Amino acid sequence: MINNVKCTQCGAVGLEPGFIEDNAPAGRGDARWVAGPIERGPLGGAKRMGRPHLQVDAFHCLNCGHLEFFAVRPA
């Protein structure tokens, strides 16, 4: 897919879109950005209730291999 995303590492334009997978046992399958510093619950999991969540879009530079991440849409 051709796009105008620019690599901040090498300057190439047209990065490959993709996503970062969350393969934790209770995970949804995709990564999300959560506002604020991480706080752990009693079982060690991250507390996230009541915090804004954003979908993480990932782009791979075919020229240098660098990954670019953008948190842009509500998850």
Residue 68 lies in a domain: yes
Residue 40 domain flag: no
What tens digit of pLDDT does each residue of 29-63 get? 778 888 888 889 888 888 888 888 898 999 999 99
Query: Looking at the domain assignment, is residue 14 inside a domain?
Result: yes
Q: Who wins on pLDDT, 28 or 40? A: 40
Split into its structural domains, the chain has a count of 1
C-alpha 1, offset from chain centre: 19
Q: Which residues pair with 74 in a beta bridge?
A: 54
Residue 39 forms part of a structural domain: no
Q: Does 69 map to a domain?
A: yes
- Whether the CB-CB separation of 18 and 56 falls below 8 Å is answered with no
- Say if CB 15 and CB 68 are below 8 A apart: yes
Q: Range of 65's domain? A: 1-34+47-75
